[in-house]
């Protein structure tokens, strides 16, 4: 018996550290290069390992649903509030309840039931040609329906969720009738059928295919800081115009995180969310990913500062998810491909 007990004790010596090791399983729609360095810092500081699974947001949501109660996922990170809302509506999330949620993040950047929370802000202003668009020629999204812009506007497809959320924000603030009228007039002024991503719209402005585009600022910042001299040169031909600064403000969205419904490592997952909302992480977002900090008192990077200060919309971002289907219908009716 004594020998048996000795063997059990010896086995326990090797097993217990493995059993006790903390970990977080993160499903991320953000590319590995844009999140992994931050996760490595978290592991270094806490000893908690992060198992990262990357993929397209819709695919990750489908995976969560199919895995059901057996899913190993603790957190879902996506790059648009519409998908976070979709995951919650499908019953795939639960309240995060971290110490940072209510204390640091503005209420309109988090779910009212704390199922998801913003990690960084993504602004989607107007970008114009420095050479072909006069100062103050455009000051609002409403200006873009004027016939003077006919054949001069580039934007990506209506299937892009960034554009769907932008239209959803207009519905929330103006109502469906006015939002439909805006989209109808806007589409009439397209320079070409929508194609490509946000960088392609900026390149099209630089190439003279259009005079104006709508794109997220981090794409422009990425081009300006690129090692590719051609992209740098293209980006330098474009300037940012912050629309609706005299009324509702410029459209913003978030990258954000949700707690998976069946998260097996909730305590460790909460620690990771707190880390991602720390000032240190917020500064990293601004300098590395070129996204605006979600915390109001964190300093912007020099590159973001160069785009100018702006007033942002104050729409509760959950409404963008609620109104997504209406936005898609409006875009379809207007012929926005």
Cβ proximity of 293 and 286 under 8 Å: yes
Residue 216 has pLDDT above 90, yes or no: yes
Q: Which two tokens stand for residue 291?
A: 């996204």
Biggest CA–CA distance in the chain, Å, is 92
pLDDT (tens digit per residue) in 32-80: 888 999 999 999 999 999 999 999 999 999 999 999 999 999 999 998 8
Q: Quote the CA–CA distance of 2 and 140 in Å, as a whole number.
A: 82
Instruction: Name all domains of the chain by residue range, CATH numbers in brackets.
Output: 23-122+253-299 (3.40.190.10), 123-250+318-334 (3.40.190.10)
User: 3-state DSSP call for residue 118?
Assistant: strand
pLDDT (tens digit per residue) in 274-326: 999 998 999 998 888 899 999 988 889 899 999 999 999 999 999 999 999 99
pLDDT at 9: 41
Confidence band of 104 (pLDDT split at 50, 70, 90)? confident
pLDDT (tens digit per residue) in 122-135: 999 999 999 999 98
pLDDT (tens digit per residue) in 141-196: 999 999 999 999 999 999 999 999 999 999 999 999 999 999 999 999 999 999 99
């Amino acid at each position: 018996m004594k020998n048996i007990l000795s063997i059990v004790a010896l086995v326990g010596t090797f097993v217990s550290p493995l059993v006790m090791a903390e970990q977080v399983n993160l499903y991320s729609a953000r590319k590995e290069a844009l999140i992994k360095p931050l996760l490595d810092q978290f592991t270094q500081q806490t000893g908690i390992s992060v198992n990262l699974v990357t993929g397209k947001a819709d695919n990750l949501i489908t995976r969560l649903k199919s895995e059901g109660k057996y899913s190993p996922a603790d957190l879902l990170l996506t790059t648009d509030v519409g998908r976070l809302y979709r995951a919650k509506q499908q019953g795939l999330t639960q309240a995060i309840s971290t110490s940072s949620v209510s204390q640091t993040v503005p209420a309109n950047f988090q779910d009212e039931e704390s199922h998801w929370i913003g990690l960084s802000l993504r602004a989607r202003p107007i970008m114009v040609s420095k050479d072909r668009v006069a100062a103050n020629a455009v000051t609002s999204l409403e200006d873009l329906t004027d016939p003077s812009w006919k054949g001069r506007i580039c934007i990506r497809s209506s299937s892009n969720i960034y554009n769907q959320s932008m239209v959803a924000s207009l519905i929330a603030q103006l109502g469906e009738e006015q939002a439909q009228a805006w989209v109808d007039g806007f589409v009439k002024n397209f320079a070409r059928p929508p194609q490509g991503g946000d960088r392609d719209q900026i390149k099209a402005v630089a190439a003279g295919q259009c005079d104006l585009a709508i794109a997220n600022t981090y794409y422009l910042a990425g081009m300006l800081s690129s090692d590719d001299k051609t992209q740098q040169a293209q980006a330098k031909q474009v300037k940012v115009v912050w629309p609706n600064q005299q009324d509702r403000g410029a459209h913003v969205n978030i990258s954000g995180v949700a707690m998976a419904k069946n998260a097996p490592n909730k305590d460790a997952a909460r620690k990771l969310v707190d880390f991602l909302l720390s000032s240190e992480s917020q500064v990293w977002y601004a300098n590395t990913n070129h996204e605006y900090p979600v915390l109001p008192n964190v300093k912007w990077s020099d590159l973001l500062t160069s785009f100018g200060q702006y007033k942002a919309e104050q729409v509760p971002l959950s409404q963008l998810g609620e109104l997504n289907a209406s936005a898609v219908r409006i875009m379809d009716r207007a012929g926005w491909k």
